[in-house]
Structure 1
Amino acid sequence: MSMDPLVMRAREVWEDLARVPVSFAPPGGVEVVVSPRSGLCPAGWVGVVALGGSAIVTAPSDAAAGLVRGVLEELSVEALVDGDSVRKALPVARVLGPAALAYVSPSGFRPVEAGALTVDRLPAAHPDVRGLERAAGPEAAGEAALDEITSPAFVVRDGHGRAVSAAGYQVWPGRAAHVGVLTARGVRGRGLARVTGSAAVAHALSAGLLPQWRARLPASRRVAAAMGFEELGLQLSFELA
């Protein structure tokens, strides 16, 4: 059976980010490699990405890779991206995730109309974007990572001219567009993230990029689903004790 082209493109992104030669195994398989410079996880951590029923794992050292390989018989692909299962099988100090990985093709994209709203296109470093980050709070701003985008920022303002929602993307290896969306507290749940996110995704698709949406919170995952994103896998990072 042929592989979904969207899964194939997504896998290429994460294989590049491993920063050492690695390929996703057949369904149900796991490939573990040593990569101290891996882009799958923070430095010194173990990174796991599962896509299309198989997974790749990067470890910071031979010893860490050996620990992971030693539990593969008892950990399925699904268990490797489940924090509780990993904690039971390995000496884990900290865990990040899991986060859902979602992607959309040009044919699957469902643009969200702005309606009466106006979407401004600003430079990524515009002061209004930084002001929105302060208004949204450090946790939400860190999750959106608009300070890392390489695209323009697509912004919606309130009646006072303040930026209340913004989106953009960072170009990753493998020609992926990693999308980030941020909305100010007090105006969430009104569809603003869908409007600004849709503008960013449309811009990425017009550049021939693969839009990627990584999210842990159900609200963020619903925003992606509304635009036609398909959840194809999960990402988990953990630090061995």
Structure 2
Amino acid sequence: MSIDAPAARARALWQELAAAPDAAFGTPPRPGVFVSPDSSLAPPPWVGVVTIGDTALITAPTDRAAAVRTALDGLSTTRLTDPGTVTALLPVSDTLGPATLAYLTPDALRPPEPTGTPTECLPPGDAALRALSEEAGEEDAGESGLEEITSPVFVVRDGGTWVLAAAGYPHWPRDTAHLCVLTAPDARGRGLARQAASETTAHALAAGLLPQWRARPAASRRLASALGYRELGAQLSVRLV
């Protein structure tokens, strides 16, 4: 499968999440800007910017779309997801991101070398997963999205009851598997997250889903790249004054 195939599927996904009639990625260097109070590109009522390749899609609350379009028209996708650039052009009180958006083709998955510890499956919401979230802390657990998982959760234990790493995905629209990964602080750097994420990615591919990896931390981006994910875009959310 060519890399254009996941890019096209990714655009279709985010166009649906934009929740605006006729929402579409714009033609460079003009992003598509749409009024959508129900958009999932950003927390309501923020402005959401998503880029895939050299195209961009932006949603804004009803009364701010015109100003956003005027301020951001003509920018490259790199600058559209740069907080410094956007805050210099719009009255912004807060930003979220940017986060990279990476996708994986079925022939690109690179499973890790065995760690010697088997991978197990748990149902979403298992008590052992809640314990892992508590150990990781509110910020890391929230970043991971572990509580949103609807798939089987692939975990690596310490040989007992404690889960050291976990991965799974919620099933997003357009047959997309949004990867969620979390590792206990003391277990990082041992390849356990890669092991759990590899099993999760393989599960998604077997179901015909498009694996999506959204990441802000550099370590998460490196992990995705090691598995074969390719960064195709980015996401930025901004709250206007």
Q: Distance between the aligned counterparts of 1:26 and 1:239, measured in 2?
A: 25
Question: Letter of the aligned partner of 1:139 in structure 2?
Answer: E
Asked if structure 2 preserves the Cα contact closer than 8 Å seen for 1:29 and 1:77, the reply is no
Corresponding residue of 2:86:
86
Q: Distance between the aligned counterparts of 2:160 and 2:151, measured in 1?
A: 25
Question: Letter of the aligned partner of 2:18 in structure 1?
Answer: A
The sequence identity of aligned pairs, in percent, is 50
Corresponding residue of 2:32:
31
Asked if structure 2 preserves the Cα contact closer than 8 Å seen for 1:27 and 1:52, the reply is no
Corresponding residue of 2:75:
75
Corresponding residue of 1:176:
176
Question: Letter of the aligned partner of 1:192 in structure 2?
Answer: L
Matched, 1:137 2:151: no
Range 132-141 or range 159-168, more displaced: 159-168
Asked if structure 2 preserves the Cα contact closer than 8 Å seen for 1:135 and 1:185, the reply is yes
Q: Distance between the aligned counterparts of 1:99 and 1:225, measured in 2?
A: 14
Matched, 1:103 2:98: no
Corresponding residue of 2:11:
11
Question: Letter of the aligned partner of 2:45 in structure 1?
Answer: G
> How far off its partner does 1:72 sit?
2.8
Q: Partner of 1:71: helix, strand, or coil?
A: helix
TM-score by length of 2: 0.95
Q: Distance between the aligned counterparts of 1:3 and 1:28, measured in 2?
A: 22
Number of residue pairs matched? 239
Corresponding residue of 2:222:
222
In the TM superposition, what whole-angstrom CA distance separates every residue of 1:148-185 from its partner, at most 9, and x where no partner exists? 11101101001333101000001111111000100001
> How far off its partner does 1:51 sit?
0.5
Corresponding residue of 2:188:
188
Q: Distance between the aligned counterparts of 1:127 and 1:231, measured in 2?
A: 33
Q: Distance between the aligned counterparts of 1:235 and 1:182, measured in 2?
A: 21
Q: Partner of 1:160: helix, strand, or coil?
A: coil
Q: Distance between the aligned counterparts of 1:40 and 1:189, measured in 2?
A: 32
TM-score by length of 1: 0.95
> How far off its partner does 1:95 sit?
0.2
Q: Distance between the aligned counterparts of 2:114 and 2:35, measured in 1?
A: 46
Q: Distance between the aligned counterparts of 1:73 and 1:7, measured in 2?
A: 22
Q: Distance between the aligned counterparts of 1:48 and 1:213, measured in 2?
A: 17
Asked if structure 1 preserves the Cα contact closer than 8 Å seen for 2:28 and 2:76, the reply is no
Question: Letter of the aligned partner of 1:25 in structure 2?
Answer: G
Q: Partner of 2:180: helix, strand, or coil?
A: strand
> How far off its partner does 1:28 sit?
2.8
Asked if structure 1 preserves the Cα contact closer than 8 Å seen for 2:164 and 2:184, the reply is yes
Question: Letter of the aligned partner of 1:144 in structure 2?
Answer: S
